[in-house]
């Protein structure tokens, strides 16, 4: 089986220090959390950024500062910026990190309920995002919160808004208001994508590690981190993103799956050369 790519979603846009004091806001804190995940075995850092007071932002220069700090602390790591940002941000605001030409960025492939709010990703928005990313040779990680999002990603590929070869999917399961976090649905999604595609699972909250174990066994890849889950175990807050990555690495070890380095992850995902 292919080596396992571990992505760490170190920050997110919704969780706060009130939820877990280790959630990073400042550039230094973001670099610290990225390094803890990288040292533990993460090949990819999924990045959202904040202002120092914790407010989520898609500001290009804040992204640049955080990315520079992460690259300095984590040589060779792959940074996967968010184009989802926080619920309610405009498309223009969300697209700012693409101006930094990352190798890969998220592409949220449809709208859905997101807790009590609606995360809006209309088809015209997706076409624009796809065109912008394709023009800049930024690989799309197709974030799918629902089966319809997988179908929409395939539609975008068929119509040429994103490349159809070697697509990368991230199945985000367990968001309140979208698809549930269970193995039956993960298997359904994983069987719905093209044979040459790669995929990763993101289990929200208590779904993080059961779905990670399933993905490790199925040949998929795994995302863990504070964006998705703040707990190392029931009732025990994680002290760092690295601790969550360590747990994923331990699961992979138990199941006999080797961990991909950032260089190996670049090959597995067919990312462009830097």
Q: Which residues contribute to the site for ligand KMH (CB under 6 A)?
A: 13-14, 82-84, 86-87, 106, 108, 114, 119, 143
Torsions phi, psi of 151, nearest 5? -65, -35
In angstroms, rounded to a whole number, what is the distance separating the alpha carbons of residues 15 and 32? 17
Using CB distances below 5 to 8 A depending on partner kind, what does residue 143 bind out of ligand KMH, Zn ion, none? ligand KMH
Select the span of 82-90, 113-121, 132-140, 259-267 touching Zn ion (CB under 5 A): 82-90
Compute the least distance from the CB of residue 165 to ligand KMH, in Å: 22
Contact partner, 170, from Zn ion, ligand KMH, none, Cβ < 5-8 Å per class:
none
In the complex with Zn ion, the residue whose CB is nearer, 143 or 246, is 143
Beta bridge partners of 114: 117
* Cβ-based nearer residue to Zn ion, 82 or 98: 82
Q: Which does 171 bind (CB under 5 to 8 A by kind): ligand KMH, Zn ion, none?
A: none
Whole-angstrom Cα distance, residue 120 to residue 28?
A: 31
Query: Can you give the C-alpha Rg of the chain in angstroms?
Result: 17
How far is 218 from 227, CA to CA, in rounded Å?
A: 24
The tokens of 116 are what? 């009590």
Provide, rounded to whole angstroms, the least separation between the CB of residue 203 and ligand KMH. Answer: 14
Letters for 181-220 (x = contact with Zn ion by CB under 5 A, - = none) are: ----------------------------------------
Look-up of token digits 């910026």: 81
8 A C-beta contact, residue 184 and residue 151: no
- Closest CB to ligand KMH belongs to which residue? 84
**Are 161 and 126 within 8 A, CB to CB?**
yes
Least distance in angstroms from the C-beta of 131 to Zn ion = 21
Q: Which is nearer to ligand KMH, 79 or 249 (CB)?
A: 79
24-31 CB contacts, 8 Å cutoff, 24+ apart: 24/50, 24/226, 25/50, 25/51, 25/52, 25/53, 25/54, 26/50, 26/52, 27/62, 27/65, 27/66, 27/69, 28/69, 30/66, 30/69, 30/70, 31/66, 31/69, 31/70, 31/72, 31/73
108 binding partner (options ligand KMH, Zn ion, none; Cβ < 5 to 8 Å by kind): ligand KMH
Question: Closest approach of Cβ 81 to Zn ion, in Å?
Answer: 9
Tell me: does residue 82 bind Zn ion (CB under 5 A): yes
Selected range binding Zn ion among 56-64, 79-87, 119-127, 133-141, rule: CB under 5 A: 79-87
Q: Cα separation of 59 and 99, whole Å?
A: 11
Could you list the residues that contact Zn ion (CB under 5 A)? 82
């Amino acid at each position: 089986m292919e080596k396992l790519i571990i992505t760490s979603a170190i920050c997110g846009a919704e969780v706060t220090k009130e939820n877990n004091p280790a959630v990073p806001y400042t550039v230094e804190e973001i670099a610290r959390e990225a390094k803890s995940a990288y040292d533990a075995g993460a090949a990819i850092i999924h990045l959202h950024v904040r202002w120092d007071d914790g407010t989520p932002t898609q500001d290009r220069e804040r992204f640049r500062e955080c990315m520079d700090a992460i690259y300095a602390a984590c040589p060779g790591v792959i940074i996967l910026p968010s184009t989802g940002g926080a619920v309610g941000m405009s498309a223009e605001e969300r697209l700012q990190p693409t101006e930094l030409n990352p190798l890969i960025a998220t592409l949220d492939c449809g709208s859905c309920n997101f807790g009590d709010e609606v995360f809006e990703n209309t088809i015209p928005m997706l076409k624009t995002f796809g065109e912008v990313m394709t023009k800049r040779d930024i690989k799309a990680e197709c974030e799918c919160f629902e089966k319809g999002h997988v179908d929409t990603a395939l539609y975008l590929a068929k119509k040429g808004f994103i490349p159809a070869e070697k697509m990368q999917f991230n199945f985000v399961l367990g968001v309140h208001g979208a698809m549930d976090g269970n193995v039956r649905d993960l298997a359904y999604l994983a069987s719905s994508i093209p044979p040459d595609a790669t995929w990763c699972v993101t289990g929200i909250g208590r779904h993080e590690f059961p779905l990670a174990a399933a993905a490790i066994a199925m040949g998929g890849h795994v995302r863990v981190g504070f964006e998705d889950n703040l707990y190392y175990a029931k009732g025990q807050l994680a002290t760092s993103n690295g601790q969550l990555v360590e747990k994923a690495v331990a699961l992979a070890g138990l199941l006999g799956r080797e961990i991909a380095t950032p260089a190996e992850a670049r090959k597995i995902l067919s990312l462009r050369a830097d």
